[in-house]
A = this chain, B = another copy of it.
Amino acid sequence: MTPTDPEPEGPRPPARRRPGGRTARIRRQVLDAVLAELGEHGYDGLTTDAVAARAGVHRTTVYRRWRDVGGLLADVHDAAGDDDWQPPETGSLEGDLAALNQEIQTALTARPPIMTALIAASFRSEKAAQAQQRLWEDRYARCETIVSRAVRRGELPPHTDARRLLIAATAPLYHQLVLLRMTPDPRLPGRAARTAALAAAAGAFAEPPSADDA
């Protein structure tokens, strides 16, 4: 995201827009409107016209820039990844994973259910699905530092597959809350973290596979 530009509002030829300033502001207004509409009505209630009306921009602006609902949802994901989020740092592998899982559980159980609505929408729109995958890929890549810190502290074998460990730690959250739709359990983030940390200490994610010291 570019910094906010204090340029005054006003009509402007639509064909040439700068990446910052008014364009960035309109993008934020429109994407906020997408999230609000999605939270209130779900995918089926999401239309480019409703988003334009809520954002206070002309429908042709939305159409020209985002084309359709899939384009809007894809940009929501892209904008979400355009931040400086870093995984929690608590001093231990299990602590880091538990704090990460707590963030995931909070997001998956928030009201209105924006994150689950975005996940549901990714089954409807290929553009949204691809953007969702890019965002997850980015988040998991940033989280690999959790594993490299643990290796440096001597908590894990040097050749630990960070991605497999992170997926093992976080998958129960997504599975229980998104697919199985179980009642949220406040113990789940910590338990899933502990399970992954114990498996990691036993060599479950060691590469090459000779490092099996279970």
Contacts and interface: CB of A to CB of B under 8 A. Distances in A.
Contacts of A171: 171-172, 174-176
Interface string A182-214: 000000000110111011011111000000001
Interface string A59-77: 0000000000000000000
A48 interface: no
Interface stretch (A5-13, A23-31, A162-170): A162-170
A129 interface: yes
- The number of chain A residues touching the other chain, given as a range, is 20 to 34
Contact of A194 (B178, B194, B201, B204): B204
Nearest to A180: B136
A15 interface: no
A123 interface: yes
Interface in A96-150: 119-120, 123, 129, 133, 136
Interface of A: 119-120, 123, 129, 133, 136, 164, 167-168, 170-172, 174-176, 178-181, 191-192, 194-196, 198-199, 201-205, 214
